[in-house]
């Protein structure tokens, strides 16, 4: 996965920033939004952000 890819254009949030938020303890879309700002402006990226949050949370749980 390309962690440099921008997921939220409005806030310039990358996949890596979402991963970092999850690694720091964020477990829900709302917690990641609070930590990164992703999906808080126009909302076009919400589905992508939510999928990434679920992916990274499950990845953390299996380690």
pLDDT of 36-50, one tens digit each? 999 999 999 999 999
Helix, strand or coil, per DSSP, at residue 7: strand
pLDDT of 14-63, one tens digit each? 999 999 999 999 999 999 999 999 999 999 999 999 999 999 999 987 65
pTM, two decimals, is 0.93
Is residue 43 packed enough to be buried (19+ CB in 10 Å), middle (13-18) or exposed (0-12)? exposed
The CA distance from 57 to 32, in Å, is 11
Identify the structural domains of the chain with CATH numbers, from first to last. Answer: 6-61 (1.10.10.1100)
């Amino acid at each position: 996965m390309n962690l440099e890819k921008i997921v939220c254009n409005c806030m310039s949030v990358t996949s890596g920033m979402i991963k970092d938020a999850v690694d720091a303890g964020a477990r829900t879309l709302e917690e990641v939004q609070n930590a990164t700002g992703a999906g808080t402006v126009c909302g076009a990226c919400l589905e992508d952000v939510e999928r990434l949050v679920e992916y990274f949370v499950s990845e953390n749980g299996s380690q």
